[in-house]
Structure 1
Amino acid sequence: MSDVLESKSMPVLSTLAVVRDECQFVLSGVPNSPETTALILHPLVEARIGVDAMALNAQDDGRASFSFMVHQDDYQSALTILEQLVPRWGDAHIQTNQTIARLSMSGPALWLQPGIMDVALTALAVPNIRVDSVTTSEQTISVLIAEVDVESAVQALQQAFIGLELVTDEMRC
């Protein structure tokens, strides 16, 4: 499989950022309505908790799964707020992951570059790194992985995309 990666290597990504100080929240079984997301976000904002990487996934039964990231320092406060909200939705529940890392690959006009996602996910598959979530934008691909897999993931992605510059959360200060 490394032969495939070598032939697909392309200099379309310029930066790989690693963030290790976030936690993921997933609220499952919440009503799929604009009111629900407002009810979730408003108390977090009032508590001055920054929320990032939000995703709302609708289900056929009118329910949804709402996931997002917060800084580790805000984990307990966010959990307390959410534990007060969730009972209003009956069988809804909260899942958290405090041992997650986000790797964000960026480059110009990624959405115009066919095969970028294939190369990135194939690179992570070779060392058997499980991807918990993928988000994309015009210039960024972010993957959530287990924090223990960061070094292997960085190495695999740097090999797949020759010349990728590494920026860690420690370097952003």
Structure 2
Amino acid sequence: MVGSIEGPSVAWGYEGKKVGKFEDEIKGYDNFDFFRAALDQAGLKNTLKGIGPYTLLAPTDAACFAYKGCLDEDILKYHIILGKHDSNSFSTTDTYETLNGESITYTRKYRKDFLDDAIIGMIGEIGQTSYPCDIECDNGVIHSIDRVLIPGYKGVATHTTKIEQGGK
């Protein structure tokens, strides 16, 4: 299912003027091909096809490319929360168990819902569509996110328009 989701739109920005486009005109969509391929390579595709239920936090291709580390099995499992959690259910508890055995932390700050450093239902830059969330699947739900989550969460990161992340 993650391969068929259309991610947030990407606007031309200032570069659009050079080719006769408006800055806020959509030039494409940021999808999830890299993350899906990493799940397949780690053998987690079959796990996600199982009974579940699961909540998948899917970083976009841009987020995966910005991440300076390796998307190993441990990090990929950290993006899979046990149980089905739509965006409205996250306020019921502070932590959620992931498939790698660690817990992911829910925080409500700045009128936004965070799971570790990821904003659920994040609105993109001007001219962009929002990151899709609450995508129903047979055995759970998918939320797209703007960054790769790293086990060992230490606090809410600074969100900027430019994605910059370090690795392990």
- Give the TM-score taking structure 2 as reference length: 0.26
Report which of the two has the higher share of helix. 1
- Give the TM-score taking structure 1 as reference length: 0.26
Report which of the two has the higher share of strand. 1
